């Protein structure tokens, strides 16, 4: 084996041993057994839930609800992003502690952190579900109302058009009045 590689490997092993000696057992225990990740799911609790009515019947109210929900959703997505789900949960253990662990302690930290993050994700989902369900319900009912209102307007306009056509055919300019404007009997 090449002497510089042996020396480098020896230095790395010594550095790892020194790191292990400097990391307090309490720090290792925190990340392998005691860390509960409570702050992870609390970040969503800081997101002010929007006030969502059963249904909105005008554009101003619809816009207000959508703006409130979008504000909450931005906060929620930020809280989820803070979890750093693009990385392994164990990577959230501070580097000095991670590098000071033995292989077995590192594996224990991996298992523990996976459980902590799974629970945080579940808790965040439980906090978000009622808001999302309420918004989904509101949106469906509001869309139904808007569709019904638009249909009612179309039917009303069609009815008015049919009545106007009937009056023209009968020679009546306004309902119940003759072409001269006098009431017909």
Over the stretch 68-123, which tens digit does the pLDDT of each residue have?
999 999 999 998 888 888 889 999 999 999 999 999 999 999 999 999 999 999 99
Residue 34, beta-bridge partner list: none
Mean pLDDT along residues 157-170: 80
CA separation for the pair 53, 39 (Å, rounded): 30
Q: Is the pTM of this model over 0.85?
A: no
- Cα→Cα distances 11→5, 8, 18, 74, Å: 10, 5, 10, 47
DSSP characters over 75-105: HHHHHHHHT-TTS-GGGGS-HHHHHTS-HHH
Q: Specify the DSSP element, H or E, that contains 183.
A: none
The residue among 29 and 10 whose pLDDT is bigger is 29
Residue 177: what are its φ and ψ, rounded to 5°? -120, 145
């Amino acid at each position: 084996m090449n002497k510089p590689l042996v020396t480098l490997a020896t230095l790395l092993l010594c550095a790892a041993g020194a790191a292990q000696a400097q990391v307090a057992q309490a720090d290792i225990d925190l990340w392998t057994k005691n860390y509960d990740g409570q702050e992870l799911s609390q970040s969503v609790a800081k997101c002010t839930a929007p006030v969502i009515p059963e249904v909105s019947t005008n554009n101003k109210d619809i816009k207000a609800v959508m703006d409130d929900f979008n504000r909450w959703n931005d906060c929620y997505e930020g809280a989820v992003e803070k979890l750093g789900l693009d990385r392994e949960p164990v990577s959230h253990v501070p580097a000095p502690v991670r590098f000071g662990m033995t292989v077995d302690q590192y594996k224990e930290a991996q298992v523990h952190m996976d459980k902590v993050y799974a629970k945080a994700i579940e808790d965040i989902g439980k906090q978000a579900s009622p808001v999302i369900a309420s918004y989904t319900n509101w949106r469906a009912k509001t869309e139904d109302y808007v569709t019904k209102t638009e249909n009612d307007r179309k039917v009303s306009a069609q009815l008015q058009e049919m009545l106007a056509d009937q009056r023209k055919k009968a020679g009546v300019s306004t309902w119940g009045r003759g072409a001269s404007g006098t009431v017909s009997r």
